[in-house]
Amino acid sequence: MFNPIKTQLTILQQEGYSTGRFLKWWITHPFTYFISNKKPLILTQKVKRLLAISCTLFGLLLFLSIIYKFFIVFPFSVILFLIEPFIFLFAAVVIITPFERLHRRRTINRIRKEVVDNQDLTVIGITGSFGKTSVKDFLFTILSGCQETLKTPESYNTIFGIAKVVDFELLKKTRFFICEMGAYVRGEIKELCRMIPPQYAILTAIGTQHLERFKILKNTTLAKFELIDSVNPSHALVNLDNSFITDRLSDHKYRGVKTYSIFNPKADFFVKKYSLSSHGLNFTLVHQDKTYSYTSVLFGTSNLYNLAAAISMAMMIEVPEEIILEQIAKINSSPHRLELKKINIATLIDNAFSSNEEGFTTLINDLSKLPGKKVLITPGIVELGIRTVEVHQKLGQLSSTVFDKFILVGKSLRTLSFEQGLKKPVTYIPNSTNLWPLIEELSQDFGWILLENDLPDTF
C-alpha cells in the first residue's frame, strides 16, 4: 500500500530515531515508498508523538501560507507531506529530543529504584555482538524449570524497551530477570546497567557485527565490557574462544572472571566433545573435573556455544543438574536463528534473522563436514563498513568448496564481492519476497538449504 509516512516512520524507528542515519537512508533511497514487513512499525508513544508533531508542523505551514498569502507554498506543502514527509519527521525528532533526554533520565532513575527495592530479584545481563538473544532464550528455559523467571522479549534491549518490561511484567515473585543489553555506541550498556543493576553477566562474543556504527573493534570491545565491569568478576561469564575477549581479559582487573569454551581445558566450563547432524547436537561439558552429557535438537556449533553459555551460567547460580538436563531437552531454536525445517528431501537451515562474519564462517565449516548436496541463499552481511569487500570475498572463497549452488539476493557491494571470492557461477534474484516457491523447488534436489540472513528494511 502506498504510504510514505508509514514507510519513513518505520525506517526512522529501525534506525533508533537517529537523524543522521535517517538522513543517510533518505538520501540513498529516494522515492522509496514500499518496504517489507520483516520488522513492522510498532506504534509506540514516541511514534505517536512524532506523527502528531509532524502533522502540527504541516498544519502550521499551511496556516502561515494562507495568513501571509504565500499561496504557492500551499500545494507544495501538501505534495511534500504526502509524497516525501521526511522533512517534517526530521524536524519532529529535533524538537522532541530535549524532552526525550529528560524523560530518559527520569525513566532510568524510576526503574532502578523499582529493581533495587526488589531484594529477592537476581538480574542476569547478557550482551555480545551475536548470540545474546539465543543465550537469553536458552537460559530462560533452564531457569524457568526451578524459579519464576522473566526475560526481555525478542530484541527489547534498549532503555525504554526494558523499562516497559519492568513496568508491565516484573512481579514481586519474580526471582530471575534475564536482561538482554544492546548497544551501538559506548556508554549505552553502562547506562542500562545503571537502570537494571545486574548481579551476573554473560558476554557471548565480540565481532564485526555493527562495525559500521562502532567504527573500530576497540569501541565494540569497550562497549560490551561495560556489562562485565558492572558486576563482581566472579559473577561474570565470557567466551574464552573469542580473541577480542581473551585479549581484554589480560587486564588484571578481570582476574576471577569465569570462562566457557569448546575444547579449551583452561576454561572454567568447556565442551570436551560433540557431534552434530540434522537431528541436533550431542555433547559433553566439563566443569571442576566433572563431566555432564547433553542432547539437544539444536543445530550447529554456534548453538553449541549458546548452550554452553546458558548451562554454565545455570551452574554458576547453582541450578540443580537434574533440572538443567530436563530443561535442555525442551529448548528449541529461536525463530529464524539456525532453525531447522524439513522440506521434501532437504533440511532447511533458516538463519534469516541476522548474520555476522563469525557465525557465517562457523556454519560453512559445520556444513563442510556433513554429506549431501548443498545450496546457499544469502544477501550477505550488512553494517561491515570498510571491511565489506574483504569479509565477503573471504566468505565466498570459503563457500566455494562446500556448496553446490549459490543464490545471491540483490546485486550490491556485498554480493558482488562474495561472487569475486567465489569464482563460480551464481544466480541472482532481486529480493527475498518470494523465496518459498524457490526453496520448495530446490528442496527436490538438494539435501541442505542454508538461508543466511535477510536484509532489514534500511538496506
Grid cell digits, residue 403: 556448496
Grid cell digits, residue 427: 544466480
Domain positions in the chain are: 4-101, 118-328, 339-452
In order along its 459 residues, the chain shows pLDDT tens digits of: 457 888 888 888 777 787 777 888 778 777 776 666 567 777 878 888 888 998 898 888 888 887 876 766 667 677 777 777 878 888 888 899 898 889 999 999 999 999 999 999 999 999 998 899 999 999 999 999 999 999 998 767 788 889 999 999 999 899 999 999 987 788 999 999 999 999 999 999 988 665 566 567 788 889 999 999 999 999 999 999 999 999 999 988 999 999 999 989 999 999 999 998 888 899 999 999 999 999 999 999 999 999 999 999 999 999 999 999 999 999 988 778 888 899 999 999 999 887 888 889 999 999 999 999 999 999 998 878 788 999 999 999 999 999 999 999 989 999 999 999 999 999 999 887 778 889 999 999 999 999 998 754 443
Phi, psi dihedrals of residue 86, rounded to the nearest 5° = -50, -50
**If residue 262 lies in a helix (H) or strand (E), which one and from where to where?**
strand 258-262
Name every residue whose Cβ is closer than 8 Å to that of residue 153 and which is 6 or more positions away in sequence.
165
Tell me whether the CATH fold assigned to 118-328 matches the one assigned to 339-452: no
CA 138, 144, 150: angle at the middle one, nearest 5?
A: 85
In the prediction, which pLDDT does 459 show?
38
Query: Rg of the chain over CA atoms, in angstroms?
Result: 24
- Which CATH superfamily is 118-328 part of? Mur-like, catalytic domain (3.40.1190.10)
Q: Is the separation of the CB atoms in 134 and 303 below 8 Å?
A: yes
Burial class of 171 by CB neighbour count within 10 A (0 to 12, 13 to 18, 19+): exposed
Grid cell digits, residue 165: 518490561
- Domain spanning 339-452: CATH 3.20.20.10: no
Grid cell digits, residue 410: 540483490
In the prediction, which pLDDT does 455 show?
52
**If residue 78 lies in a helix (H) or strand (E), which one and from where to where?**
helix 73-83
The 8-class DSSP code of residue 187 comes to T
In the prediction, which pLDDT does 383 show?
74
User: What is the full DSSP assignment across 339-369?
Assistant: EEEEETTEEEEEE-S---HHHHHHHHHHHHT
